[in-house]
Amino acid sequence: MNRQQSLRYLPGLDGLRAVAVIAVILYHANKSWVSGGFLGVEVFFVISGYLITMLLINESQENGKINFRAFWMRRARRLLPALWTLLIGVTTYCALFERDTLGNLRGDVVAAFVYGFNWFQIWVGTSYFSAFGFVPLRHLWSLAVEEQFYLVWPVLIAVVLKVFGRKPLLLGTLFFAASIAVSIYVAKTFEPGANGSVLETPDHYIAIFGHAVSKVDFLFLGTLGRSGGLLIGSALAFWWKPSMFHSDHPTSERHIVSVVGWVGVLGLGAMLWTFHDVVEGGVDGGTSGYAPLFQGGFLLVGLASIAIIAAAVHPHTLLATRVLGNPILVYIGQRSYGLYLFHWPIFQFYRQFAGRGLNVIEFVLLFALALVVTEVSYRFIELPVRSGGLREAWGKFRHSRLESDREKRQGIIAIGVVAAVVPIFALVSLATAQVKLDDIGQSLADGESGVVNVMTSTTVAVSTTTVLSGTDTVVPSPSTTTLDGQVIEIIAIGDSVMLGAANVLTERGITVDALKSRPFRQALEIGNYLKSVNRLGEIVIIHLGTNNYVDQKTLDDIMVPLADVDTVVFVTNHVPSKKWQDPNNVLLRGMPDQYGNVKILDWYTIAVAHPEYLYGDKIHLNPEGQAVYADLIMQAIGK
């Protein structure tokens, strides 16, 4: 086997990388454009498993062993320069323009630097799926998974080759079986929590060293749960190598390979188009994991990906030469790593909140900016480090003896010192910053003092929660609200939107029971309880649906204990990033036709007409919006 032939450049794989990164970027820009775009990350995993395993097999065959140190150094030169550039750039930007975020950013930077970001997210509960945080490094979880793979994989391949010898059919089958085993493990682990909700139910969590973590986070972000794609790509590396085909003489199998490749393209395209978000809203329990993804979806993506790769590395398929191998896709694919790194923080710096979708014009401009930043990084940082050009330039710089060169060197040193001042300032700021709440988090924390839990005893000890910016981490701080068992004349039941206005509503004589991430069905529990203890008054206000779907049966059930209440006001939802907004509002607007004591406050229409009432996430109420919201509720109840 000729080394140059076995390791020849494969433009089709760069083209596939381009497709994968474009899918991810579109998904990050606006989830409604490509609802399954997040699957592009799984395609990356499969490509990495294939290429890395093939390189290790070739090295073992040609040299009789695998040089671990050389492998890890190559990976470091490939990955670290752009990553460190990103971390310094994001830290500097935040130190200059987003200083209140530095305290929350510190843990992310450290975790990303040591390639443990996925486990950091899992452990501290900074959910990958939160839509409301300013999280410029959230996407680095996938790089952590790959780097952990790179650390152990050469050792594992060396051991496997030592134990089993060079038996490609057997070893490929072994790794393929391992991928299926991971898929079964993910499905079995997910199954008990398929109906898990944002509520703290046992089914929704899994214990790691006695610490409860979100099951969906664990499976989606965890190294084990996401190793299936890496394993199935590795299996293909044993079965299918570019060296099996002569680059100059087409053979008959290319037609079968082409068919297999196009079947993979159609399958992957269908999944990118039809798969929903990683989490979805349920009727009974807030958000839950998207079952088709965790119950075999990852494996299907892996199968489609290896089918495409099989055609992409064959020198005589149309998919390899004309489609994936076209210059535009190859260009993007060669820069896919940098594009993945830089696009997300650029999106975040502009829109602030992860869940706000970009429009087409915003996307085009921001993508162009990301492409420029990527090109600069690729040409002036990544390539020089990879090729050794940076080391060579440094050597010349150090050993220059000419007077003119010394003058240039002094100028370069002066520029370097000046250029280093801002990053050093940023890193010091990061190290010393205090954790602060963002505007939404502070608003919700302030609102906690105005809420009561009506389903507790006469004296209600409310455990308030402080929500850290960009996270789902909660810090309890006790407060006490006293109710004397009297009838609650006006009760408002809500989620985080109402929570933001709780103090304003309380000042106007309304008892507020609002809770972050509350599912719609809890209104039924509260209504039944107040009915059973004869504390229902004349007016009930319900504003739920920010976090999940509601169905007609749930609404009808809610109305059973409220049948004798004089006025029940349902407030419509404005959650433009969620698919349940419109169907929920349709059902709510139909309620007065069925129940004579129901009124509708159409907050959706007000919010669309007056975005200035909302924070940047386009959902939660700013101070002006809180006052208007309270005024509208008072008008709706005739007060």
| Per-residue pLDDT at 438 exceeds 50 | yes
139 and 159 fall within a common domain: yes
- β-pairing, 598-601 with 567-571? parallel
Read off the pLDDT of residues 309-366 as tens digits, 9 standing for 90 and up. Answer: 999 999 889 999 999 999 999 999 999 999 999 999 999 999 987 778 899 999 999 9
Q: Please report, in angstroms and rounded to a whole number, the separation of the first and last CA atoms in the chain.
A: 86
Q: What is the pLDDT of residue 194?
A: 41
Q: What is the pLDDT of residue 439?
A: 83
Q: What is the 3-state secondary structure (H, E, C) of 542-556?
A: EECCCCCCCCHHHHH
CA angle, residues 620, 626, 631, in degrees to nearest 5? 135
Q: What is the pLDDT of residue 457?
A: 41
| Backbone φ/ψ region at 115: left (φ over 0), alpha (ψ -120 to 50), beta | left
* Phi/psi at 284 (5° precision): -95, -20
Least confident of 167-176, 219-228, 384-393, 468-477: 468-477
9 and 118 fall within a common domain: yes
**In Å, how far from its chain's centre is CA 196?**
19
CA distance 109 to 111: 6
In one letter, which amino acid is 91?
T
Distances (CA, A) of 267 to 220, 270, 348: 21, 5, 31
Q: What is the 3-state secondary structure (H, E, C) of 82-101?
A: HHHHHHHHHHHHHHHHCHHH
369 and 515 fall within a common domain: no
490 and 422 fall within a common domain: no
Tell me the CB-side half-sphere exposure of residue 631, using CA atoms within 13 A.
8
Residues 6 or more apart in contact with residue 34 via CB below 8 angstroms: 23, 26, 27, 272, 273
pLDDT > 70 fraction of the chain, expressed in percent and rounded: 85
Q: What is the pLDDT of residue 344?
A: 97
Q: How many CB atoms lie within 10 A of CB 304?
A: 25
Q: What is the pLDDT of residue 474?
A: 38
CA distance 323 to 332: 13
424 and 512 fall within a common domain: no
Task: Between 195 and 398, name the one with better pLDDT.
Answer: 398
Contact 17, 333 (CB under 8 A): yes
CA distance 422 to 434: 20
CA distance 544 to 570: 8
Residue 62 is encoded by which pair of tokens? 């040609």
User: In the predicted model, what is the mean pLDDT of residues 221-244?
Assistant: 94
Read off the pLDDT of residues 30-58 as tens digits, 9 standing for 90 and up. Answer: 988 999 999 999 999 999 999 999 999 99
191 and 238 fall within a common domain: yes
User: In the predicted model, what is the mean pLDDT of residues 618-625?
Assistant: 94
Distances (CA, A) of 575 to 283, 602, 626: 16, 13, 16
Which of 171, 299, 280, 161 shows the shortest CA–CA distance to 230? 299
| Per-residue pLDDT at 394 exceeds 60 | no
408 and 453 fall within a common domain: no
Residues 6 or more apart in contact with residue 210 via CB below 8 angstroms: none
Q: What is the pLDDT of residue 460?
A: 37
Q: Mean pLDDT over all residues of the chain?
A: 87
Domain that holds residue 588: 439-636
509 and 563 fall within a common domain: yes
414 and 513 fall within a common domain: no
Work out the pLDDT band at 9, boundaries 50, 70, 90.
Answer: confident
CA distance 530 to 456: 11
429-455 burial by CB neighbour count: b if 16+ within 10 A, else e? bbeebebebbbbbbbbbbbbebbbebe
Read off the pLDDT of residues 594-613 as tens digits, 9 standing for 90 and up. Answer: 999 999 999 999 999 999 99
Work out the pLDDT band at 407, boundaries 50, 70, 90.
Answer: low
85 and 176 fall within a common domain: yes
CA distance 10 to 286: 45
Q: Domain count of the chain? A: 3
400 and 371 fall within a common domain: no
Distances (CA, A) of 109 to 76, 136, 429, 550, 562: 18, 10, 13, 39, 51
| Per-residue pLDDT at 3 exceeds 50 | no
Q: What is the pLDDT of residue 417?
A: 73
Q: What is the dihedral of CA 595, 597, 603, 604, to 10 degrees?
A: 10
Task: Between 229 and 472, name the one with better pLDDT.
Answer: 229
Neighbouring-strand partners of residue 492: 512, 541
CATH number of the domain that residue 500 is part of: 3.40.50.1110
Work out the pLDDT band at 134, boundaries 50, 70, 90.
Answer: confident
Read off the pLDDT of residues 248-300 as tens digits, 9 standing for 90 and up. Answer: 667 778 889 999 999 999 999 999 999 988 887 665 555 678 889 999 999 99
Distances (CA, A) of 337 to 97, 247, 421, 457, 624: 26, 28, 28, 56, 43
- pTM of the model as a whole: 0.84
CA distance 448 to 500: 8
User: In the predicted model, what is the mean pLDDT of residues 17-33?
Assistant: 96
78 and 194 fall within a common domain: yes
Distances (CA, A) of 14 to 159, 336, 495, 590: 30, 8, 46, 52
Q: Which helix (H) or strand (E) holds 463?
A: strand 459-467
Q: What is the pLDDT of residue 625?
A: 96
Work out the pLDDT band at 79, boundaries 50, 70, 90.
Answer: very high
| DSSP SS3 for 7 | coil
Q: Among 325, 358, 387, give the residue marking a domain's end.
A: 387
Read off the pLDDT of residues 573-589 as tens digits, 9 standing for 90 and up. Answer: 999 878 889 999 999 99
CA angle, residues 139, 144, 147, in degrees to nearest 5? 135
Q: What is the pLDDT of residue 69?
A: 95
CA distance 631 to 405: 73
Which of 437, 355, 432 shows the shortest CA–CA distance to 91? 432
Q: Among 367, 387, 407, give the residue marking a domain's end.
A: 387
Q: What is the pLDDT of residue 366?
A: 97
User: Which residue bears the tokens 């039809």?
Assistant: 274
One-character DSSP codes across 103-165: HHHHHHHHHHHTT-HHHHHHHHT--TT-SSS--TTGGGHHHHHHHHHHHHHHHHHHHHHHHH-
